[in-house]
A and B are shown apart, each in its own frame.
Chain A
Amino acid sequence: MLDLTPKTVAERSALRINPCKTCQPVGAMYAALGVHRCMPHSHGSQGCCSYHRTVLSRHFKEPAIASSSSFTEGASVFGGCSNVNTAVKNIFDIYGPDIIAIHTTCLSETIGDDLNSYIMDMQIPEGKRVIHCNTPSYVGSHITGFTNMVNGFLNYYVDPNNKSASDKIAILPGWVNPGDNREMKLIAEQMGLEFIMFPDHSGVMDAPMTGSYQMYPDGGTTQAELKSLGGVKHLIAFGHIISTPTAELMQKKWKVPFNLLPLPVGVTFTDKYLMALQKLSKREVPHALEEQRGQLVDLMLDSHAYTSGKKVAIFGDPDIVLGLTSLVLEAGMVPKYVISGTPKDDFTVLVNKLLDEYHITGSTVKANADLFDLHQWIKNEPVDLLLGSTYGKQIAKAEDIPFVRAGFPVLDRYGGPLLPTVGYVGGIRMIEKITDAIMTRMERDYSDEDFEIVM
């Protein structure tokens, strides 16, 4: 596996090998799927839409609906105005969503299609909405596209005079699985807060089997909620990389005060979430949550002999990687390599700060990195565990390293998106997976005389 990857690291500035990111539009598509009765629409060639739907379906094992402007060579020369007009008419006619959320592609961005003016001149049926955001694939990553679509919705929807949510807080979960959406919401409920989560993929990308297919499942942020988001009393935004632009937008435009928090993975980061909620609710943290926290800490102490000092490579999207780094540090592990493909230097600053807090030195932290980089470093100085998205499995096989899947995309396992990585419960789940992977490997390698029944 990956037999052509040499140990010697050569400087690269042009050739991306085995990327640890993908392009903006899929992020926009995913964000839009977290809105109730919304059809994401890809303004570009058909292939973009097909690829994005495919990767989302493969990760969630769920339908991922979206439509395309189906550009041809003609549209690429003359502009995609008539394509998008036709598309919008057909989508409302045939699929009847309440909202069409258009994102652009490298094609429509390169030719300079102006969606603002196209939408202004569009004939939109009464009671329906068409919104858009720009997602040039050659800027940032899929994380950038997610943020852009979230901001696109806010710019189109928020009514500054709508005060219906003045008793509520808003929660921006960032790019997480539906299981995470549910856990974040559960915690906010337990803390006695009313909230609007946006976007919310629970009930959409984890829809139950009922025997009848619902094109628009019950979940997702509603239009009424979107309109009221400018009037919430407070915003909790998860993920410094994915949510900073949105938090700043909401503060600037609608004066919404915010807490920008790391994705609540592990004890400390979940604590931060609870503390922020507590300041708002002015309530004691309920016993149930304190109990879960205690269980997670208990688990970390119980199992620390198997995690302490173990070197781990973590890769994937910046905010989840930061959260996982915090979790493994709590478990006494050493994050040897921490990378993200998303080109954001804030990521390295945040991870390094965290490593400093634990007095970890000698780690390599890099944004805008790829899995080829990671593999070469591992060849030079190996690790005990890989933690990240599916594509890490190649390195895991090549170097015979235990591997725990987390983040996006996970294309080769089932059930993950239903369960949380965030919160104390998510922490328990991740520690179980990590120790299981490490201990299973120890057992594989033990000689018979060292093979223990009790560990």
Chain B
Amino acid sequence: MNKRQNMLDKYSARVYKNRKEHLIELEKAESADTISANTRAIPGVMTARGCCYAGCKGVVVGPLKDVCVITHGPIGCGFYSWGTRRNKAKLDNNSDGKNFIPYCFSTDMQESDIVFGGEKKLEKAIDEAMEIFKPTTIMICSTCPIGLIGDDVQAVARRAEEKYGIRAIGYSCEGYKGVSQSAGHHIANNGLMRYIIGTGDKEPETKFSVNILGEYNIGGDGWEEARILKRCGIEVVSIFTGDGSVEALSNSHLAQLNLVMCHRSINYIAEMMKTKYGIDWMKVNFIGVGATCQSLRDIAEYFNDPELKKRVDDVITDELNTISEDIAYYKSKLTGKTAGIFSGGSRSHHYQVLLEDFGVHTVIAGYEFAHRDDYEGREVIPSIKEDADNKNIEQLTVEPDETLFRESNYEGKVTIDDYEGMFHEMSKGDIVVDDYNHFETDELIKAFKPDMFFSGIKDKYSIQKAGFTSRQIHSYDYSGPYAGFNGAVNFGRDATMTLYANAWSLVTPPWKNEPMLIGKVG
């Protein structure tokens, strides 16, 4: 009996039946591996998942620095999503001289607001925000009670727009919607598409212009990516949404190519921009030395410009020269080790590639809120069955824009508008877990004993207490950037540091290894 089966057997029949579809051992046989995903978490299993609000406010719209994001609800949700995700931002010409990232805004609803409705308080809160901060954009993110008591945040947003001549967007991203953060990503994507993208008219300044979609600038990842792209002569028009601004996003439709980092959280916008403006999108991965080189070469190949190709090659050569000694050192410390990665919906794929750069094979990989296409590739999308939970999330339909749509004639070598999924990266016998939970994390670690595990804060300390190198791959344990060339060095340094921390050797007290009584025989 294999380890996977052993673990699943500990579940009751009902849980077993559900979880066996979500926890698979890759066969890599002729018929493709398949997994169940984006379905309800089972109550009580200690899922790592968060909620729709977390996906909308916490992930996608929260990082927009020139927006006053007001959480409409009791205080908790706003408080927890205040400065806790490391989506770094700094002022630039695009952000109206305002950076709202250090702030938390909430309507802090009280019992009477729940009983009599909270729209008045929300309107008052907007008045107060306008008086104090004069933001040019306000976004309202709804928490659970809002939908239940029937507050119309979209109507409040419209009224704020009329009253103040600003942009205001209401998001109905109540926590209970969908089955995870994923629903919130989708709702946020719809709002950005409907109200922001395409409203600007500032043309890119250079020949090769891109947006980076699904890059939240955790630990400064987006800045490292932008640095490299700039060196290559590629203009970054906007980043969705790390260090992002409404102003930059409003011009994003004028870029020539969309680069997609986090497929899960942003693929809706990539697809909608393709339909509406004809912009091709390309799945890239700037996590990993090899992956970064490949992504850069793919971009150059897409633009098919000899000068750009040459420049990309030169930059790659130069960057590799700078980091090669460090990478080689950390590789010597890490090679031959094994890893497990549990992340949200993209990093478990991306980081496998980086780990391979250091000779580390990932034997367990899991996602909190991915869909089947993130595992199996987009070709399975037509076969994904809709259920009651995801039917409730609006599917925004866009049409080609009459004036701005540009037919894409790309017929070159690189793959566009597609993502082949995480399985593609993995080997026979590797374990993949969808919507992993505490029990499975515990059991998998015991069974597979990976040398290092990358997960979130909720698991970090239980894994560490069990004696395993445990690092946060959501927040990078407050380090970073991990993207690009410099990021790869940071990652190698951090993984090595934790794996070889001196304190590991102190865990067992010396007296545990000595006999307690010393006596003579005879």
Contact = CB atoms under 8 A, between A and B. Distances in A.
Interface of A: 1-4, 6, 10, 12-19, 21-23, 25-26, 41, 44-48, 50-55, 57-58, 61-76, 83-84, 86-91, 93-95, 105-107, 110-111, 136-139, 141, 207, 209-215, 341, 391, 394, 411
Listed residue (B44, B124, B181) with the most chain A CB atoms within 10 angstroms of its CB: B44
A95 B75 contact: no
A12 B102 CA distance: 19
A55 B81 CA distance: 10
Contacts of A111: 148
Interface string B101-136: 011111111110110000001111111110111000
B124 A213 contact: no
A84 B52 CA distance: 20
B80 A55 contact: yes
B45 interface: yes
A371 B102 CA distance: 12
Nearest to B43: A87
B41 A70 contact: yes
Contacts of B144: 44-45, 71, 76, 105-107, 110
Interface in B479-502: none
Contacts of B132: 4, 6, 10, 12, 15, 17
Contact of A106 (B12, B143, B442, B507): B143
Given A63-B461, A87-B43, A75 B124 contact: no
A87 B51 contact: no
Interface stretch (B229-237, B358-366, B462-470): B462-470
CB-based closest 9 A-B pairs: A47-B51, A23-B76, A87-B44, A90-B44, A14-B124, A45-B175, A87-B43, A16-B108, A51-B80
B20 interface: no
A62 B461 contact: yes
Contacts of A25: 76
B112 to A, nearest CB: 9
Interface in B48-106: 48-54, 70, 73-84, 98-100, 102-106
**Which one of A16, A19, A95, A137 has the highest number of Cβ atoms from chain B below 10 Å of its Cβ?**
A16
Given A57-B458, A76-B148, A212 B467 contact: yes
Contacts of A16: 75, 78, 104-108
Interface residues of B, number: 93
A21 B389 CA distance: 33
A157 B332 CA distance: 58
A73 B79 contact: no
B76 A15 contact: no
Interface string B147-187: 11100000000000000000000000011111111000000
Contact of A47 (B50, B79, B107, B460): B50
B111 A139 contact: yes
Nearest to B508: A211
A93 B123 CA distance: 47
A47 B52 contact: yes
B306 to A, nearest CB: 46
Interface of B: 10-12, 15, 40-54, 70, 73-84, 98-100, 102-111, 113-114, 121-129, 131-133, 143-145, 147-149, 174-181, 388-389, 392, 438-439, 442, 456-467, 507-508
A63 B462 contact: yes
A74 B79 contact: no
Contact of A73 (B70, B80, B102, B389): B389
Given A14-B107, A63-B462, A107-B144, A45 B51 contact: yes
Contacts of B149: 110
A15 B79 contact: no
Given A211-B465, A211-B508, 16 more contacts: A15-B125, A17-B132, A18-B82, A48-B76, A50-B48, A50-B458, A67-B46, A70-B40, A71-B144, A76-B174, A87-B43, A93-B15, A107-B148, A139-B111, A212-B465, A411-B84
B41 A94 contact: no
B51 A17 contact: no
A90 B442 contact: no
A1 B458 contact: no
A417 to B, nearest CB: 12
A76 B103 contact: no
Which of B43, B70, B392 is packed against the most chain A CB atoms within 10 Å? B43
Given A51-B50, A63-B462, A211 B467 contact: yes
A121 B77 CA distance: 32
* Residue of B49, B107, B124 most packed against chain A (CB within 10 A): B49
11 contacts: A2-B102, A10-B128, A23-B76, A51-B54, A63-B461, A68-B43, A76-B144, A90-B43, A111-B148, A209-B465, A211-B507
B452 to A, nearest CB: 16
B44 A94 contact: yes
Nearest to B15: A90
Nearest to B391: A73
Nearest to A57: B457
B111 A136 contact: yes
Contacts of A76: 144, 147-148, 174, 176
B513 to A, nearest CB: 13
Given A6-B132, A12-B128, A63-B461, A47 B106 contact: no
B12 A93 contact: yes
Contacts of A21: 75, 79
A262 B46 CA distance: 37
B465 A213 contact: yes
A22 B75 contact: yes
Given A10-B132, A95-B439, A50 B54 contact: yes
